[in-house]
Structure 1
């Protein structure tokens, strides 16, 4: 019997596995994908997450590989409405690190492999899970063969469509929003350098973030109706219409459209099985909090797992974990709702008023610093 089975080999599951392996815990990570995903939706790593990632020795390499976003600017009608510096949010990491999720996952998997080359099992589909009070049994299909993994504890980090959450029938009320977005990565021909730019336009927000290799990600709120299927050309057209910036559609390297939902479980600890990351809380990608929230779940859960394995765990610790992490997730949901509201289309008179109010607030140092801290999850 192994100590911990982790269902899901994405960034959250791999990070938890590395934390536990470093402490001598035996771990198996069951990942449905046979190969790493090269599609990078998440790119922003916030300062608290960099501090967490440093605990497994991968933060430094990621910082060297990524772009350090130290400043964000809000622009409306071609004029800078507000500026925000992240210099005061962290003594060690005063920036948001921009690095493609695929590279982050690769760094995490390399760390896990260095600790235990057999920890990650790819092509493993979980078909059943059972907690009998003394151990957890996980039914798995790998390469067409059925098997059962026995572990003292199990952690589900298997994403928004969590198989474990469904198998255990864990309630997770779903809320949908009317907002839809289109994002894509293009060659960066802007003068923004390492800065992030938010275009607060009357027709809807356009967001722009630097990526390594002189690439820039553009995210635009879509109109209520799109007559054609979203393409790189349509995103480039939206960017041009709203910001005046020409984007080379032919340089597109990633394109994705998405709607927005939120989902929050009532409890994250279910006996010997825990649910963390997107499996426990689905949050709007606007604001880039989801992956970071999952890492912080794992960082707080790891010492509790060690206590459970040592039989020194107390029920109040598990209740405290549930309370703290669900409060953090609820706060992130509220922040994402604010972010989305600020980016919705407005009639011109209201658009002018909103942008003036944002500019006035940003000129108050205390407010500016507080908003910077909220955006970086401090």
Structure 2
């Protein structure tokens, strides 16, 4: 029987595995996928997360592959409304790092393999968790190849003293074990893709607050740049030419041809009623789904992991104190998630289509926020220093 099973081998699950293995906890990570996803996902890594990655022993490797963003600008109608410098934020990492999620996952998986050889089991789908009071049975999905049948006819993948669900926002285990979640804040739809970088903005992040809706642009390694545009509705069949035309129509920027396939996604914000349910715990998007506008989601999950690892270590060593220790994790991390939801709601509201007087009022607000002393507070907010 393991000390801890982590269900979900994405960036949050693997990082948690690393942090637990470093503490001598017998941990195993179960992942449904047999190959890493190469789809365009999270790219932004904020300063608090860089500190977490340093704890996990991978910060230097991530930095060697990534782009460092030390400033950002906001534009509208071809004019710059303001600039924001992250270099004024104190600390060892006065910048935001961008690296495609699949590359970040690769670095974390390599580290986990070094810390816990064979600790990642791929191709394992989990259908249900059963809390037995002193341990949790991890049950396979129907027809799972890795399942073993016990005397009661249940297919058991593994057993552990605690199980952490980190299977993402669309995972089914949270609901399956009876943890409710509720909607918070607004929603939105977006298109994004990566293009060759035309070099116009250097290593600066750029937000275009235009009448038709926000367009965001971030540098990536390898001479590429990520472009994200808000859309009125979900557009799953949009082509790269559709996105290119939309960006030019709003911003006037003419992008070069790209072989990238655009990703259409919808944003919703939800928070679980609890992140601790007996011996089953939640981390990452399984606990709190946050708008990716502002790049908080993956980072918030990593901060869950760095809080949960010592809490689990203590709960395993001092069972009589486990309930209080894990309740503290639940309380602190859901409070942080609510703060992230409010910031994400502000980000989405600022990027909605506006015109006339409302457009002028929004632009005036942006100009004010880009000036001292508010710009220092804004830098802290956008680099998640409040966490």
- State whether TM-score is above 0.5: yes
Give the secondary structure class of the aligned counterpart of 2:181: coil
Moved more, 324-333 or 229-238: 229-238
Per-residue deviation, residues 83-136 of structure 1 (Å, max 9, x unmatched): 000013242100000000000000000001111221000010112211111111
**What are the equivalent positions in structure 2 for 1:95-134 lying under 5 Å apart?**
95-134=95-134
Look up the match of 2:191.
Answer: 182
Give the secondary structure class of the aligned counterpart of 2:125: strand
**In structure 2, distance between residues paired with 1:101 and 1:160:** 16
> Are 2:260 and 1:253 equivalent residues in the alignment?
yes
CA 1:291 to 1:192, structure 2 compared with 1: closer, same or farther past 3 Å?
A: same
2:315 to 308, 314, 326: 308
Per-residue deviation, residues 230-259 of structure 1 (Å, max 9, x unmatched): 1111111111111111112x3232421111
Residue-pair matches, total: 375
Instruction: Give structure 2 stretches of 5+ with no counterpart.
Output: 149-155
> Are 2:371 and 1:370 equivalent residues in the alignment?
no
Give, in angstroms, the shift of residue 316 of structure 1: 3.1
Look up the match of 1:62.
Answer: 62
Moved more, 216-225 or 157-166: 216-225
Look up the match of 2:336.
Answer: 328
> Are 2:271 and 1:295 equivalent residues in the alignment?
no
**In structure 1, distance between residues paired with 2:322 and 2:167:** 26
Per-residue deviation, residues 122-167 of structure 1 (Å, max 9, x unmatched): 0101122111111111012586242321111110111012232122
Give the secondary structure class of the aligned counterpart of 1:200: strand
Q: Is the 8 A contact 2:293 2:348 kept in 1?
A: yes
**In structure 2, distance between residues paired with 1:23 and 1:206:** 43
Give, in angstroms, the shift of residue 224 of structure 1: 5.2
Q: Is the 8 A contact 1:177 1:259 kept in 2?
A: no
**In structure 1, distance between residues paired with 2:133 and 2:234:** 51
2:179 to 147, 170, 190: 170
Per-residue deviation, residues 280-301 of structure 1 (Å, max 9, x unmatched): 0011111110100000001001
Look up the match of 1:158.
Answer: 167
CA 1:223 to 1:38, structure 2 compared with 1: closer, same or farther past 3 Å?
A: same
Look up the match of 1:285.
Answer: 292
**In structure 2, distance between residues paired with 1:36 and 1:293:** 21
Q: Is the 8 A contact 2:184 2:270 kept in 1?
A: yes
**In structure 2, distance between residues paired with 1:7 and 1:159:** 10
TM score, norm. by length of structure 1? 0.95
**Superposition CA RMSD, Å:** 1.6
Instruction: Give structure 1 stretches of 5+ with no counterpart.
Output: none
